[in-house]
Copies of this chain bind each other. A is one copy, B any other.
């Protein structure tokens, strides 16, 4: 799927006493952007968790904070699927201020599929196409 754009506004509760959005909040925003990415890709994250007992656990986050985000700034998050296999997914993000397209942050996150006990599992094939995983992926080569 092409990169997907999500918009949100910085909430007052998300600022800290430095007068800018707290750096931990960006991870919450990235997650909101992933959920919207999945929705746009025709993929209901909540349903997969509920019906198939499969969640997507974050195993790595990396974020570079380029310019401070202020209260009430409108932020555009561009989300791109970087890589996907039946075991792993990686996303990359750019956060920009809507008003002037100023780059606020860049980030990457890495995820594994897991069951209700948080153990790694293979993504069922019915979901593969949504992540652009080719049929036969992850099979032992003959």
Contacts and interface: CB of A to CB of B under 8 A. Distances in A.
Contacts of A32: 9, 11-12
Contacts of A13: 16, 22, 24, 27-28, 31
Most chain B beta carbons < 10 A, residue from A27, A62, A68, A70: A27
B60 A61 contact: no
State the main secondary structure of chain A at its contact with B: mixed
Most chain B beta carbons < 10 A, residue from A19, A35, A55: A19
Pairs of residues from A and B, 9 with the lowest C-beta to C-beta distance, nearest first? A24-B27, A15-B17, A23-B58, A13-B28, A17-B19, A62-B62, A46-B72, A24-B28, A24-B24
Contacts of A72: 35, 45-46
